[in-house]
Amino acid sequence: MAGSRLPRQLFLQGVAAVFMFAFASLYTQIPGLYGPEGILPARRTLRPQGKGRWQQLWETPTLLWEAPRLGLDTAQGLELLSLLGALVALGALLLSPLRHPVIYLLLWAAYLSACQVGQVFLYFQWDSLLLETGFLAVLVAPLRPASHRKEAPQGRQAGALPHEDLPFWLVRWLLFRLMFASGVVKLTSRCPAWWGLTALTYHYETQCLPTPAAWFAHHLPVWLHKLSVVATFLIEIAVPPLFFAPIRRLRLAAFYSQVLLQVLIIITGNYNFFNLMTLVLTTALLDDQHLAAEPGHGSRKKTATSWPKALLATLSLLLELAVYGLLAYGTVHYFGLEVDWQQRTIHSRTTFTFHQFSQWLKTLTLPTVWLGVASLVWELLSALWTQVRGWLRKLSAVVQLSLVGTATVALFLISLVPYSYVEPGTHGRLWTGAHRLFGAVEHLQLANSYGLFRRMTGLGGRPEVVLEGSYDGHHWTEIEFMYKPGNLSRPPPVVVPHQPRLDWQMWFAALGPHTHSPWFTSLVLRLLQGKEPVIRLVQSQVARYPFHKQPPTYVRAQRYKYWFSQPGEQGQWWRRQWVEEFFPSVSLGDPTLETLLRQFGLQEKSPPRTRSANSTLAQALHWTRSQLSPLEAPALLWGLLMAVGAVRFVQALLAPCSLRSSPLAPVSGEKRRPASQKDSGAASEQATAAPNPCSSSSRTTRRKK
């Protein structure tokens, strides 16, 4: 993967940005989710069982075991980790010296620590994806900061070590596993909506948190929805093998197809940092040449090429055209595409059966594993072929390549186990050593299985749980959430990259009975108790909460079905229909409530300890919380993004000044141009005549000279 210096830098910056969003978003919700008065207090998850310190840390890998030593309880330790994680990630995003393996190791360890106590609210696939990507960033990050090096003749940066490109290949492999598995599970689930190509006629209104654009997308013609499903299968199943194509134009085409899919998902749905994380992974398909890392490369005069190179270029072009033609033919054949010129539509249908697809998957899955093996072997050989001058640098390169190569191969073997879940036959034929490796580190989430949108829900209407409160048990008032659908006239919000985890779990709770979501009983209890941290998860401005003056005496929940409104309905975004009672009317001390709490192990056995609240660190955390609590979470995250943009803008303005004042900058009047660069003489003269933007008197000085 020669020439990947700039994509690697983009990847590291992207991982830092996603970590920053993830930690900041989680921080705003910790008191309501995991505090002593939260829905699922974190202190219940860490109970010492008499094991040794290191054994305990290995079995439950979280830094929060050390929170009591700092005078903090588990929730306060989680707040500290989230704050430090967001700040460290912000630093890595802005300062290149902080893009170091140790920094990314700390970010990964902090997020893994949070996931160990996060319970159901941190069980999402994007949390696992962030952990896996964050660990890969530890290997991708350079041990020493990049310097201004001259380019080597082979296209690799001079002074670069052979191992630097190798771990970045794992990012490409992770992107392949993510996309290919996400496409395959849609068909292996036997979901009639995916097989009938009608999934998108339901998706936009039934997804967890739609955006306003989803309303407009929902009302597009049905034939366009079906064609979009065909395009989704093409991008997620047929295109990912091109990630390993030897022709860079095929990889770039695959890159832009993935970007298109993710951008469309971002526009129509609030999937927090997941799509941003996927976009970060796509940087593994880029190279320095495409990102203009060599600005002078395109301006050089073309020289005559030898006939072998011309023949190779012709064969590459023919192969590229053959791949495009094969993709087009397969799409038309397997999805029966027909153009209706009279109605100006494109008809589509699935022309293969589930049995045929299962046989195809059984035949293809193992070859994709061997495709990954072949691509990895090529990367290893390329690293070994790279020449390094100087015996000391050669020794250092051999040692680092051995370590990084071993780690890369080990992670690849580990990842084969969750990847093979897409086809049971392949899973059983894997090398037993890969299974043992995966079993040894499974709890660290170094490799995970993926498969998004497996089945389309809400085919008969979007199920939605609506909480209600009352003082007398007869007059009920709806408790509206900030982000999930409720009020029929309120437009869907835009909250990305924030993830309101309670709103997300409310969506999952609506898909089944309340007993499948034990945390819901705890939510009802906290609302009856009037706990402010939980109320802030429902409404960040407590004054908007209908029972902010006095907690309700009774709470119940109803299940509705929601649909997007029709274009002609003015002032309405939704319409709904009552279905059934979801949770019975209960009050504090109600036998039904007490039975449910006891059944799910949610009863308070002992009052929370408050002795740590007097520590200096706990007081500092409390003060920080009081300063940030007036801000809504999306505003806080967008404020961070704007701050990063402002700092970047200032850095761009100061960059010419620092370059001109750098001791590495060429001294005026010196002639250091090699004889082999005669064709760039005019460019050098123009560069000499260019005024210094950092000096207002540069033009006057040149005139005097």
Structure-token pair, residue 376 = 């990895």
Q: How would residue 294 be classed by pLDDT, with cut points 50, 70 and 90?
A: low
What pLDDT is stored for residue 409 in this prediction? 95
Residue 496 lies in a domain: yes
pLDDT digits (tens, 9 = 90+) for 128-167: 999 999 999 999 999 876 554 444 444 444 445 667 889 9
Residue 649 lies in a domain: no
What pLDDT is stored for residue 298 in this prediction? 44
**Contact of 25 with 130, CB cutoff 8 Å:** no
Residue 610 lies in a domain: no
Q: Are residues 345 and 393 in the same domain?
A: no
- Decide which of 147, 180, 206 is a domain's last residue: 147
Residue 691 lies in a domain: no
Torsion angles phi and psi, residue 103, rounded to 5: -65, -45
**pLDDT higher than 80, residue 402:** yes
**pLDDT higher than 90, residue 251:** yes
Least confident of 472-481, 546-555, 686-695: 686-695
Query: How far is Cα 172 from Cα 216, in angstroms, rounded to an integer?
Result: 34
Distances (CA, A) of 477 to 547, 556, 681: 9, 10, 78
- Decide which of 447, 481, 508 is a domain's last residue: 447
Residue 564's nearest CA partner among 219, 220, 71 is: 219
Q: Which residue matches tokens 């982000």?
A: 483
* End-to-end Cα distance, the chain: 48
Residue 657 lies in a domain: no
Q: Are residues 345 and 223 in the same domain?
A: yes
Query: How far is Cα 188 from Cα 412, in angstroms, rounded to an integer?
Result: 25
**Contact of 551 with 477, CB cutoff 8 Å:** no
- Decide which of 147, 180, 198 is a domain's last residue: 147
Q: Are residues 213 and 124 in the same domain?
A: no
Q: Give the count of domains, the chain.
A: 4
Write the single-letter amino acid at 11.
F
Q: How would residue 311 be classed by pLDDT, with cut points 50, 70 and 90?
A: confident
Residue 452 lies in a domain: no
**pLDDT higher than 60, residue 301:** no
**Contact of 275 with 265, CB cutoff 8 Å:** yes
What pLDDT is stored for residue 689 in this prediction? 39
Contacts 24+ apart (CB under 8 A), 458-461: 458/202, 458/205, 458/206, 458/561, 459/192, 459/193, 459/202, 460/561, 461/561, 461/562, 461/563, 461/577
**Contact of 338 with 346, CB cutoff 8 Å:** yes
Q: Are residues 180 and 140 in the same domain?
A: no
Q: Are residues 95 and 30 in the same domain?
A: yes
Q: Are residues 47 and 7 in the same domain?
A: yes
Give the contacts of 517 (CB within 8 A, at least 6 positions apart): 120, 505, 508, 509
Q: How would residue 604 be classed by pLDDT, with cut points 50, 70 and 90?
A: confident
Q: How would residue 664 be classed by pLDDT, with cut points 50, 70 and 90?
A: very low
Structure-token pair, residue 415 = 């990842």
Q: Are residues 125 and 266 in the same domain?
A: no
Question: Can you tell me whether residue 558 is helix, strand or coil?
Answer: strand
* pLDDT (average), residues 171-181: 97
Least confident of 159-173, 307-321, 518-532: 159-173
| CB-facing half-sphere around the CA of 8: CA atoms within 13 A | 27
Q: Are residues 191 and 138 in the same domain?
A: no
Return the C-alpha torsion angle 551, 552, 555, 561, nearest 10.
-90
Q: Are residues 442 and 509 in the same domain?
A: no
Residues linked to residue 561 through DSSP beta bridges, in sequence order: 463, 577
Q: Are residues 186 and 116 in the same domain?
A: no
* pLDDT (average), residues 331-357: 94
Query: How far is Cα 378 from Cα 384, in angstroms, rounded to an integer?
Result: 10
Q: Are residues 375 and 283 in the same domain?
A: no
Task: Estimate to the nearest angstrom the gap between the alpha carbon of 8 and the chain centroid.
Answer: 17
Residue 679 lies in a domain: no
Owning domain of residue 370: 363-447
Q: Are residues 288 and 176 in the same domain?
A: yes
* pLDDT (average), residues 631-654: 89
Structure-token pair, residue 702 = 């040149």
Residue 668 lies in a domain: no
Least confident of 164-178, 306-320, 664-678: 664-678
